Each structure stands twice: as C-alpha cells, then as structure tokens.
C-alpha cells in the first residue's frame, strides 16, 4: 500500500470545503496544513496505516507531542478541529463508520480579551490620512467602512461596485455561507465613497474591475494587503498589542453597545448566526457602563 493511502479522500475533502462549505482559500490552506502535519506524524510514529485503524490514543499521542513542543492549547485545539472536520466528512461520505474524535474534549484555553481601539484612536488615524490621492482616499474609505459597518476583512475584499448603493446609503455584503446582508451607510462614509469613486474613475492606469477596492496597480486587494494597511495606520496612534481589521470590527461592536445599541441589532449588522457570538463584545460595554456608573452616581460622590 502506498504511503499516501492514509489520505486517499484528502483532495475530495478540500474540494468539499471550497465548493460546498464556501470556505476561503486561506481557511482551506490552514486545514490542509494541519492535516498534512497529522499525516506526517502518523507515518513517522506508526508507519503506513489505513484511516479506519487510527484510534484516539494515537491522536492523543499527537496532542501530547504538540504540547511538549510548546504549542499553545489554542493552536492545538485548532489543529484538532481541522482533524474533526475531516473525520466528519469521512462519516458523511460513509468512508468510515465512527470517528475516533467523537468523544474528544477541547483543551482548556485562557479567555482571549480583545481590546478595541478607542474612539479617539480612530479619529486620529482618519485625521492622519492624506485623501488627496487615489491611495489615500482608498485607505480612508477602507478604515471608515470597517469602523462604521463592522464587516469582516474577507467581506470588504469581495465587495463589488454593484454592491454599493450610494443613492439609498446601503451596502450589500456577502458573508459566511454566502449569506447576504444589507448594512446602512452613514453620511460621512457616503461622502468618502463618492470621492473614492471619482478618483477610481479618473485614474487612467486602473483597468476595469468589478471589485470596489483596488491596489494602485489595479489588482483586487487581498488579505495581507488589508492587514498591513490597518496595522500600519494604527501603529502610529495606538500602543495596543493587536492592531488588525478584526480589532476595528470589535471596536465597531463595542462602541455601538457602549452607546446603548440593541444586542440583536448589532448581531444582524455583524452577520452573526447566533447571539452568543455577539455577546463576546458585551465585556467591554459592561466595563464602560461600570465606569460611567461609578463616576456619575450621586452616592459615589459622597464622602
């Protein structure tokens, strides 16, 4: 039996993630890397094995090896999640009868607190951007759109010109699982959008493209481009450890909730499928409300 026999349905699984689950290339690449790493461990430790012969103690041994190598519990859980997804696919396609990970419990991880940008930090970034050029007004539009809509990085990248309805002040976003949602645009974003579109149409070097955001060479923007853009601008005004598009999404939700926005409304704007995912953002809101309560309550001002 050839060494690759362990993962005979492997390519089919990747096709399934792309075509049926509609996962991004970035996500699929991460799944593939985790599974290849597991395959290498199995082959090096136990030799050539049939997929149905892999048992939980052997997988557990991989977990122990990862832990002893200094890999964090969070990263180990992600790798095991990839493996569980693969076994679910094999069950779905009736290539195995049971999953060796059916009773596995994720390793405990410390709660990860995302610290949002302050309103002042966002304002400082916008004030620093020179929007007198195509690149400048594009960058300003991207920052404003992230902060005013809370969209995901991949959602922003895939916005098409036809998704932007400036007349009605609405943006159509294609979210996870190809689920569409419509997000209202505030007046200042509409104004920046109009300016960007003028620059875009007047810049002769740019080729025709259906996508809204383009690089200076006329290519569709990509994930690392967007990450660097946000990280570079916010590094100038913020000392926070993490400065990413996701933190801007987090800031959007936190600031809305701080101002008294309804949790269900924020859930819809973010494109979350469950309220539990949105409740993560209430941590900072409660902290802000506690601060306001402490400073404003008349009993607290009494000696």
Q: How far is Cα 160 from Cα 158, in angstroms, rounded to an integer?
A: 6
Confidence bin at 51 (pLDDT 50/70/90) = confident
Is the distance from CB of 147 to CB of 251 less than 8 angstroms?
A: yes
Mean pLDDT of 275-281: 73
Token readout for 210 is 């259906």
Over the stretch 146-163, which tens digit does the pLDDT of each residue have? Answer: 999 999 999 999 999 999
Residue range 212-265, pLDDT digits in tens = 999 999 999 999 999 999 999 999 999 988 899 999 999 999 899 888 888 888
Number of other CB atoms surrounding residue 22 within 10 Å: 13
Confidence of residue 199 (pLDDT cuts 50, 70, 90): very high
Contact 261, 289 (CB under 8 A): no
Residue 261's pLDDT is what?
Answer: 86
Is 153:246 a contact under the CB 8 Å cutoff? yes
Q: How far apart are CA 139 and CA 147, in angstroms?
A: 12
Token pair of 194 as six digits: 């109009």
Taking residues 282-302, report their average pLDDT: 50
Q: How many CA atoms within 13 Å lie on the side-chain side of 55?
A: 3
Which strands form 170-174's sheet, in the order they lie side by side? 164-165, 170-174, 180-184
d(CA 249, CA 152): 7
CA-based nearest residue to 9, from 80, 98, 95: 95
**pTM above the 0.75 mark?**
no
Cα–Cα distance measured from residue 100 to residue 122, given in angstroms and rounded to the nearest whole number: 48
Indicate if the pLDDT at residue 300 is higher than 70: no
Average pLDDT score, the chain: 87
The structure tokens 């400048």 sit at: 136
> What per-residue confidence (pLDDT) applies to 2?
38
Active site members: 152, 176, 246, 249, 272, 281
Confidence of residue 35 (pLDDT cuts 50, 70, 90): very high
Q: Give tens-digit pLDDT for 107-150.
A: 988 766 678 999 999 999 999 999 999 999 999 999 999 999 99
């Amino acid at each position: 039996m050839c060494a690759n026999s362990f993962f005979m349905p492997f390519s089919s699984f990747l096709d399934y993630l792309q075509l049926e689950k509609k996962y991004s290339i970035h996500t699929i690449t991460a799944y593939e890397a985790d599974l290849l790493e597991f395959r290498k461990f199995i082959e090096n430790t136990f030799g050539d094995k049939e997929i149905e012969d892999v048992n939980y103690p052997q997988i557990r041994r991989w977990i122990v090896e990862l832990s002893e190598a200094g890999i964090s519990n969070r990263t180990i859980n992600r790798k095991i999640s990839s493996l569980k997804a693969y076994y679910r696919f094999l069950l779905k396609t009736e290539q195995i009868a049971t999953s060796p990970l059916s009773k596995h419990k994720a390793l405990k991880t410390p709660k990860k607190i995302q610290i949002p940008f302050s309103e002042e930090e966002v304002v400082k970034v916008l004030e620093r951007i020179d929007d007198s050029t195509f690149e400048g007004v594009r960058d300003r539009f991207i920052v404003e759109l992230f902060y005013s809509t809370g969209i995901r990085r991949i959602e922003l990248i895939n916005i098409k010109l036809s998704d932007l309805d400036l007349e009605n002040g609405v943006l159509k976003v294609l979210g996870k699982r190809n689920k569409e949602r419509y997000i209202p645009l505030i007046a200042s974003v509409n104004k920046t959008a109009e300016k960007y579109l003028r620059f875009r149409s007047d810049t002769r070097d740019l080729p025709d493209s259906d996508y809204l955001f383009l690089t200076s060479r006329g290519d569709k923007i990509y994930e690392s481009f967007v990450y660097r853009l946000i990280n570079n601008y916010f590094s100038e005004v913020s000392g926070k450890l993490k400065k990413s598009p996701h933190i801007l999404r987090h800031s959007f939700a936190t600031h809305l909730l701080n101002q008294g926005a309804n949790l269900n409304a924020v859930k819809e704007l973010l494109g979350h499928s469950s309220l539990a995912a949105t409740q993560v953002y209430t941590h900072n809101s409660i902290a802000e409300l506690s601060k306001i309560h402490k400073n404003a309550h008349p009993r607290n001002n009494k000696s």
